[in-house]
């Protein structure tokens, strides 16, 4: 449900404004708004410190020269093995920095250089390959999208046809690599995907993609979502025990998401009681040499990375990520950030975001705000709508939370029983949480949130109580949104069916069939998930199982029968591409279990159409039984599994 708004887009190159329609986004609206670019331009012209000093560092970069000679384009780039990574990242840096130079100087030569680079790659690049393809697609392309956003909305002379080709390039070549994020890895992978998905959503005016990114930021199941990456109120980061380079990379990319969201009217910076600031303060304090930090030994969401103390690796090597966060929390919001401020002071003027295209860098130029001029810093967005809606079943209610709009103090909550409505107002809230205690258990409801004078958010849905009627859950949590089940499971699963795994089930009929589509990717690389039939202590389960290999990063995934029955039955199928690549469940996989009288059969499929029988067995007639989805993390943490029952 897309709303169209009439907005004003200021074209800095010619110094006038044009009118146009936009589907709820402000443009330019990635790292830099129109007001931001104008603020930088005015400060440089007036040689105002510290922005002018930041500009001189930026101007002297070889990537900021209109005479830059492109390294590409290439039809394929990749990472691990490396194919053209340095060439792409260099060109992405140059496209972005030339676009910024154009916006600040009005010199058409910068615009022409940036356009030439963006057009060349969008016309040529066809595939992104390698075990680390997500990092390849999430880092350099973020700068390419930012370059395109500036060029498109500053009257740079970029043709409509070229803009359309670039949109399709981002949607068809870059986005598919990032669409499921990276829950199998350390959190900085997730965050590289997250920021570029968000940027593509804004540039392509695709509210669904943008919303997907915001919801993953606040409620994602991988290491990179906000509260999984900054794991507690002390500010400890998931990668603090790994090394300080990746820790700063990850929190820096979360901050970039916040700045884009801010330009769309959303206070993502303030989410979870300013959790991002806590992560920056903790990290800056440690990297400035202070050992007085609390640390909780932790196992990450994948089950692969356990750390018992903060890492000394790369400690003290401050990355160019602090000016942005310091200026937001201190100058925009008036909060204290002493360690972030000290790190920013030490780096000022910030230089490039090394290595490669990891960060935008140059924060002194890009983000320095005079507290007296905060009102002119691009904070106002009349097209903003709430985002990041999350539903959870709590005792006697459905709890709805969302990312609020900065400057909005009251929200209206509406509900419907169909996605398209009609929506009826069920309450208001003075904060970003609402409890609905009037929903009928088992009924699927759709919710929207709006500011008092804003359009409604995209809807979010859940069955009241969490699950449809006849379905139950033990050993964890489970909820259904009308399309997808999402379960949070701990425990273990072996052929003894040890207690503790998650089971979401309904009664088993004499003639029955259950088909599940396992969606990519579970957060634990040790997850077991599949269809189980159970009665008392007897069970038969057709489960996706990560068999052990010599490489912890690449388990041998298989569909395997587990059972506790009088007569042993065996059967398994090794999974291959497209369901599994590099040992990761990167594609969907289907499991089907049927019952006809006393015969149980289990099947696997790569497409839900062509089925391969794994095994069959006999099940006692007349015995009350259940059928459902079993899941276990098999680690000392929980796992998130998503699936559909077509």
* DSSP codes of every residue in 436-457: E--PPTT-EEEEEEEETTSPPP
Are the C-beta atoms of residues 452 and 444 closer than 8 Å to each other? no
What secondary structure does DSSP assign to 573-618, as a single string? EE--TTT-BTTB--S-EEEEEEEETTEEEEEEESSSSS-EEEEEEE
pLDDT band at 646 (very low <50, low <70, confident <90, very high): confident
Stated as kind and residue range, the H or E segment containing 632 is strand 626-632
Q: What is the CATH number of domain 387-463?
A: 2.60.40.10
CA distance 50 to 419: 50
Residues in the chain: 646
CA triplet 31, 5, 461: central angle to 5 degrees?
80
Stated as kind and residue range, the H or E segment containing 299 is strand 298-299
Question: Which pLDDT does position 1 carry in this prediction?
Answer: 33
- Helix, strand or coil, per DSSP, at residue 561: strand
As a dihedral over the C-alpha atoms of residue 60, residue 65, residue 71, residue 73, rounded to 10 degrees, the angle is: 130
Helix then strand then coil, in percent of the chain rounded to 5, is 30, 25, 40
pTM of the entire predicted model: 0.93
Give pLDDT tens digits for 87-135: 999 999 999 999 999 999 999 999 999 999 999 999 999 999 999 999 9
Preceding amide of 422 cis, omega within 30: yes
Q: What are the residues whose beta carbons fall under 8 Å from the beta carbon of 376, sequence distance 6 or more?
A: 35, 39
Looking at the chain, the whole-number percentage of residues with pLDDT higher than 90 is 85
> Which of 324, 317, 325 minimizes the C-alpha distance to 276?
325
Q: Mean per-residue pLDDT for 510-516? A: 96
Give pLDDT tens digits for 51-72: 999 999 999 999 999 999 999 9
Question: Which pLDDT does position 566 carry in this prediction?
Answer: 53
CA distance 187 to 398: 29
Question: Across-strand partners of 392?
Answer: 399
Mean pLDDT lowest among 386-400, 483-497, 604-618: 483-497
DSSP strands (E only) in 311-410: 387-394, 397-403
pLDDT band at 407 (very low <50, low <70, confident <90, very high): confident
CA distance 485 to 210: 22
Question: Which pLDDT does position 403 carry in this prediction?
Answer: 97
* Two structure tokens written together for 412: 């209206």
Question: Which pLDDT does position 551 carry in this prediction?
Answer: 86
Q: Answer whether residue 509 shows pLDDT above 50.
A: yes
- CB atoms near residue 517 (< 10 Å): 16
Q: Answer whether residue 379 shows pLDDT above 60.
A: no
Structural domain spans, the chain: 5-376, 387-463, 472-644
Q: Mean per-residue pLDDT for 486-491? A: 94
* Two structure tokens written together for 450: 């709006």
Give pLDDT tens digits for 413-467: 999 999 999 999 999 999 999 999 999 999 999 999 999 888 999 999 999 999 9
Question: Across-strand partners of 76?
Answer: 127
- Helix, strand or coil, per DSSP, at residue 471: coil
Question: Which pLDDT does position 317 carry in this prediction?
Answer: 97
Are the C-beta atoms of residues 195 and 173 closer than 8 Å to each other? no
Q: Answer whether residue 5 shows pLDDT above 70.
A: no
CATH 3.40.50.1100 fits 472-644, yes or no: no
The domain made up of 5-376 has a fold known as Glycosyltransferase (1.50.10)
CA distance 241 to 340: 20
What do you get for the CA distance between the two ends of the chain, in Å?
24
| Residue 408 Cα distances to 28, 382, 385, 454, angstroms | 22, 11, 10, 9
- Average pLDDT across the chain, whole number: 92
> Which of 106, 25, 118 minimizes the C-alpha distance to 68?
118
Q: What are the residues whose beta carbons fall under 8 Å from the beta carbon of 581, sequence distance 6 or more?
A: 587
Long-range contacts of 602-605 (CB under 8 A, 24+ apart): 602/531, 602/540, 602/542, 602/559, 602/561, 602/571, 603/542, 604/542, 604/559, 604/573
Q: Answer whether residue 199 shows pLDDT above 70.
A: yes
Are the C-beta atoms of residues 450 and 417 closer than 8 Å to each other? no
Q: What is the crossing angle of helices 207-219 and 187-203, to 10°?
A: 150
**Location of structure tokens 């012209």:** 45
The phi, psi pair for 599, rounded to 5°, reads -100, 125
Question: Across-strand partners of 502?
Answer: 631
HSE on the CB side for 60, CA within 13 Å? 10
Stated as kind and residue range, the H or E segment containing 434 is strand 433-436
pLDDT band at 225 (very low <50, low <70, confident <90, very high): very high
Are the C-beta atoms of residues 447 and 429 closer than 8 Å to each other? no
CA triplet 498, 501, 502: central angle to 5 degrees?
150
**Rg, Å, the chain Cα set:** 26
**Does the CA dihedral 348-106-27-86 come out positive or negative?**
negative
CA distance 385 to 1: 13
Q: Answer whether residue 74 shows pLDDT above 90.
A: yes
Q: Answer whether residue 237 shows pLDDT above 90.
A: yes
């Amino acid at each position: 449900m897309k709303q169209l708004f009439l907005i004003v887009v200021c074209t800095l190159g010619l110094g006038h404004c044009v009118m146009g329609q936009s589907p709820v986004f402000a443009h330019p609206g990635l790292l830099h708004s129109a007001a931001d670019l104008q603020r930088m331009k005015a400060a440089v012209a007036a040689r105002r410190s510290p922005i002018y000093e930041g500009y001189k560092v930026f101007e002297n970069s070889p990537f900021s020269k209109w005479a830059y000679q492109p390294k590409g384009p290439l039809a394929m780039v990749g990472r691990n093995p490396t194919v053209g990574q340095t060439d792409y990242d260099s060109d992405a840096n140059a496209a972005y920095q030339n676009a910024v130079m154009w916006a600040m100087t009005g010199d058409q030569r910068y615009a022409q250089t940036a356009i030439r680079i963006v057009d060349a790659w969008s016309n040529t690049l066809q595939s992104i390959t390698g075990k680390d393809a997500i990092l390849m697609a999430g880092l350099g392309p973020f700068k390419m999208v930012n370059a395109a956003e500036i060029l498109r909305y500053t009257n740079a002379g970029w043709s409509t046809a070229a803009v359309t080709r670039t949109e399709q390039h981002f949607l068809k070549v870059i986005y598919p690599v990032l669409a499921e994020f990276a829950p199998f890895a350390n959190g900085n992978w997730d965050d590289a995907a997250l920021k570029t998905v968000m940027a593509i959503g804004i540039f392509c005016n695709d509210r669904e993609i943008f919303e997907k990114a915001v919801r993953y930021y606040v409620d994602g199941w991988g290491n990179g979502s906000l509260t999984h990456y900054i794991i507690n109120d002390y500010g400890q980061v998931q990668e603090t025990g790994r090394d300080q380079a990746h820790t700063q990379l990850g929190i820096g990319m979360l901050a970039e998401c916040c700045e884009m969201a801010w330009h769309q009217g959303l206070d993502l910076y303030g989410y979870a009681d300013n959790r991002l600031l806590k992560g920056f303060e903790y990290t800056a304090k440690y990297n400035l040499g202070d050992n007085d930090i609390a640390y909780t030994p932790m196992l990450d969401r994948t089950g692969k990375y356990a750390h018992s103390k903060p890492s000394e690796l790369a400690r003290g090597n401050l990355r160019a990520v602090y000016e942005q966060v310091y200026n937001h929390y201190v100058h925009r919001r008036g909060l204290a950030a002493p360690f972030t401020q000290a790190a920013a002071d030490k780096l000022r003027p910030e230089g490039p975001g090394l290595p490669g295209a990891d960060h935008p860098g140059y924060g002194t130029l890009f983000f320095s705000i005079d507290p007296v001029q905060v009102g002119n810093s691009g904070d106002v967005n009349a097209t903003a709508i709430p985002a990041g809606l999350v539903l959870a079943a709590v005792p006697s209610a459905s709890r709805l939370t969302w990312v609020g709009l900065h400057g909005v103090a009251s929200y209206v909550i509406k509900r419907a029983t169909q996605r398209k409505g009609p929506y009826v107002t069920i309450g208001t809230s003075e904060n970003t949480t609402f409890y609905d205690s009037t929903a009928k258990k088992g009924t699927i409801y759709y919710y929207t949130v709006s500011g008092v004078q804003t359009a409604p958010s995209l809807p979010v849905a859940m069955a009241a109580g969490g699950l449809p009627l006849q379905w139950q859950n033990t050993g964890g949590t489970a909820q259904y949104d009308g399309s997808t089940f999402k379960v949070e499971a701990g425990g273990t699963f072996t052929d003894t069916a040890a207690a503790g795994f998650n089971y979401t089930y309904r009664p088993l009929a004499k003639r029955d069939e259950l088909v599940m589509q396992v969606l990519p990717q579970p957060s634990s690389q040790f997850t077991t998930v599949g269809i189980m039939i159970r009665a008392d202590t007897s069970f038969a389960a057709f489960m996706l199982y990560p068999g052990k290999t010599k490489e912890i990063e690449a388990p041998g995934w298989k569909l395997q029968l587990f059972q506790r029955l009088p007569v042993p039955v065996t059967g398994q199928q090794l999974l291959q591409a497209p369901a599994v690549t590099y040992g990761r469940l990167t594609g969907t996989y289907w499991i089907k279990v049927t019952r006809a009288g006393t015969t149980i059969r289990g099947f696997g499929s790569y497409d839900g159409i062509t089925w391969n029988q794994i095994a069959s067995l006999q099940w006692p007639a007349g015995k009350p039984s259940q059928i459902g989805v079993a899941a276990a993390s098999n680690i000392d943490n929980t796992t998130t599994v998503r699936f559909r029952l077509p």
